[in-house]
Amino acid sequence: MSGNRFRDFSDVGASVDGLFDRELRAENDASGNAIYVGYAKGGSATSAAVWLIKKFTYDANDAVTRSQIANNNLTFSHVWDDRATFF
């Protein structure tokens, strides 16, 4: 191994670039549990196709039983306003 121990991670920057400037949106149920959670760059319109959206399902004890990604597509390409249509 060379002196640069991170040389094998040269492409990681592309996959996490901008990761920490994301905002989070959530829609909660009556118990306060997040049903839908979305991430996009700060200031993004909820009508823009730039969101990564997850849906959570809970049991009677409010424990998460399932976590889904919109359209099984782990990309920032969904519209927050349409979140219920992706599952």
For the chain, 87 residues long, the average pLDDT of each consecutive 10-residue run is 40 50 93 96 96 96 96 95 97
What is the tally of structural domains in the chain?
Answer: 1
- Residue 85 is predicted with a pLDDT of 98
d(CA 82, CA 16) in angstroms, rounded, equals 25
**27 belongs to a structural domain:** yes
Look at residue 55 and tell me if it is in a domain.
yes
pLDDT at 3: 44
- Is 73 part of a structural domain of the chain? yes
Instruction: Indicate whether 17 belongs to any domain.
Output: no
d(CA 54, CA 60): 20
**pLDDT reported for residue 19:** 58
Range of the domain at 27: 22-86
Q: Is residue 51 part of a domain?
A: yes
- 85: tokens are 């249509």
DSSP alpha helix (H) spans, 1-87? 12-16
